Amino acid sequence: MQKLEGKLRAYPWGSHTLLAELRGLETPAATPEAELWFGAHPSAPSTIGGVGLDEIIAADPDAALGPRVREIFGDRLPFLLKLLAADEPLSIQAHPSAEQASEGFRRENAAGVPSDSPRRNYRDDHHKPELLVALTEFHALVGFRPYEKTRQLFDALACPALDHYAAMIDPTREEASLRALFTTWISIPSAQRETLVAEVSDCARPLAADQTWIGRTARNFLSIVEQYPKDAGVLAVLLLNHVAMVPGQALFIAAGQLHAYLRGMGVEIMANSDNVLRGGLTPKHVDVPELVRILDFGPLEEPFASSVDDGDARRFEAPCADFVLRRHTLAAGREHSFASDGPAILLCTSGSCACGAAIELSPGEAAWIPASEPAVAVAAGSEGCEVFYATA
């Protein structure tokens, strides 16, 4: 077991305070701190004593990963663990399935698209399911809202400019209708879109004081319009579930599920991939036909991920083999033994803990546990601790 140094990512949508406060550093931070990565992703691997975790794994993959993980995933760590802190919306996006990623990666390779091209959609041939557990109040857009609730929203807006588009949704052909409406909205000429957004905004303002989900959706729409008034993805906000999570709640983002994180801090774990298809709220490459091709337009009734008791921990359910995430809350002085036949990362998010005799973790710090490591004892400090245990 060794201390793992995370890699800080300073994206424009990041927070100047959340990650700094968690780590006990001076606030506000000089740059927006968006993500702290713990893993072996080739673009920003964590380090141990200045050496990249990807290099450490490559030097002895059997000891690092173990035979079970190597048999399924080869010589790579299959997951990436992050602390994520957003003050502004991330791009509206979706991730491909394993089959779509494999096909898209081969197709772009055959077309000669450079691997580092900003116009590349598929940077590897892996899928990218994601699980996020809220550490603060956390807001997100996740999945297409069921037809009946979207109809209620359109009725409440009472916007004549929406009437033509509302008529496109046929409850007997819900998925096909949403595909047609989303494709229309994300593709219409900019001048027409700006006029439509302005008219919908006028109708949304009287609803913003409402404390129901409709009022929350109206406030969210107006906030995003203020930040991205001419963006192609703004109208999609009207079709997506707006999720407001309290600490401890979790989301699972499956393949093809359109989503955007809006604000808040959480622990995120995902398959170790860099495949993102974007639909707006970003200056980065947007490929509408490819995004529409991989999207799941089925209505999402329940965007939250379930969790179950697992001894003294909470295990978050994720229907994929790439990762397992558990949250352990230990009272002061209490000890827990972690044992696994695969690689693991232990991340502290509150309090402090001692890992064996040589490693102490404070909030925002992590440790690498290779597959060859025997059981590791973790003892909570005088204030207790909360730690997340990630493995394959």
193 and 257 in one domain?
no
Examine residue 1 and state whether it is found in any structural domain, yes or no: no
pLDDT band at 310 (very low <50, low <70, confident <90, very high): confident
Examine residue 315 and state whether it is found in any structural domain, yes or no: yes
Report the pLDDT averaged over residues 183-205. 93
Higher pLDDT, 169 or 58: 58
* Summary mean pLDDT of the chain: 93
**Residue reference for tokens 């319009």:** 225
CB atoms closer than 10 angstroms to residue 115? 11
pLDDT at 215 over 90: yes
Examine residue 224 and state whether it is found in any structural domain, yes or no: yes
**Residue reference for tokens 């602390």:** 83
Note down the domain range covering 378: 309-391
Structure tokens at 179: 């595909």
Among 181-190, 214-223, 309-318, 354-363, the minimum mean pLDDT is found in 309-318
Please give the span between the terminal C-alpha atoms of the chain, in angstroms, as a whole number: 17
Binding site for Zn(2+), by residue number, is: 93, 95, 130, 259
Examine residue 135 and state whether it is found in any structural domain, yes or no: yes
339 and 203 in one domain?
no
173 and 107 in one domain?
no
Give the pLDDT of residue 341: 72
Any bridge partners for residue 140, and if so which? 243, 261
Contact (Cβ atoms closer than 8 angstroms) between residue 79 and residue 39: yes
Among 84-93, 135-144, 202-211, 339-348, the minimum mean pLDDT is found in 339-348
Residue-wise over 340-360: b if at least 16 C-beta within 10 A, else e? bebbbbbbbbbbbbbbeeebe
195 and 69 in one domain?
no
Give the pLDDT of residue 379: 94
Report the pLDDT averaged over residues 18-23. 97
167 and 57 in one domain?
no
pLDDT at 96 over 90: yes
179 and 93 in one domain?
no
Report the pLDDT averaged over residues 228-237. 89
Examine residue 87 and state whether it is found in any structural domain, yes or no: yes
Which stretch, 299-303, 336-340, 359-363, has highest mean pLDDT?
A: 359-363
153 and 278 in one domain?
no
327: alpha, beta or left? (left if phi > 0; alpha if psi -120 to 50): beta
104 and 25 in one domain?
yes
Report the pLDDT averaged over residues 300-322. 88
| Of the residues 240, 260, 278, the one at which a domain ends | 240
Give the pLDDT of residue 170: 87
Residue-wise over 207-238: b if at least 16 C-beta within 10 A, else e? bbeeeeebbbbbbbbbbbbeebeebbbbbbbb
Nearest by Cα to 48 from 383, 271, 368: 368
Give the pLDDT of residue 248: 95
Question: Where residue 155 sits, what CATH number does that domain have?
Answer: 1.10.441
136 and 154 in one domain?
no
pLDDT for 136-162, tens place per residue?
Answer: 999 999 999 998 999 999 999 999 999
CA distance linking residue 3 with residue 361, whole number of Å: 8
CA distance linking residue 111 with residue 21, whole number of Å: 46
Binding site, by residue number, is: 93, 95, 130, 259
| Of the residues 307, 339, 355, the one at which a domain ends | 307
77 and 44 in one domain?
yes
- Helices 147-157 and 190-204: angle between axes, nearest 10 degrees: 80
Examine residue 2 and state whether it is found in any structural domain, yes or no: no
164 and 131 in one domain?
no
Count how many Cα atoms sit within 13 Å of the Cα of residue 153 in the half-sphere of its side chain: 27
pLDDT band at 20 (very low <50, low <70, confident <90, very high): very high
Query: Could you give the angle at the alpha carbon of 92 between the alpha carbons of 115 and 170, nearest 5°?
Result: 120
Give the pLDDT of residue 371: 95
Give the pLDDT of residue 302: 81
Report the pLDDT averaged over residues 82-96. 96
Residue 247: phi, psi to the nearest 5? -50, 135
Question: Where residue 326 sits, what CATH number does that domain have?
Answer: 2.60.120.10
Examine residue 26 and state whether it is found in any structural domain, yes or no: yes
pLDDT band at 356 (very low <50, low <70, confident <90, very high): confident
pLDDT for 260-270, tens place per residue?
Answer: 999 999 999 99
Examine residue 96 and state whether it is found in any structural domain, yes or no: yes
Give the pLDDT of residue 314: 93
| Of the residues 259, 277, 307, the one at which a domain ends | 307
Give the pLDDT of residue 45: 96
129 and 73 in one domain?
yes
Contact (Cβ atoms closer than 8 angstroms) between residue 46 and residue 39: yes
Task: Name the residues annotated as catalytic.
Answer: 278
pLDDT band at 164 (very low <50, low <70, confident <90, very high): confident
pLDDT at 53 over 90: yes
Give the pLDDT of residue 282: 87
Query: Quick one: which H or E segment has residue 37?
Result: strand 35-38
Q: How many domains does the chain have?
A: 3
CA distance linking residue 33 with residue 12, whole number of Å: 8
pLDDT at 316 over 80: yes
Report the pLDDT averaged over residues 27-49. 95
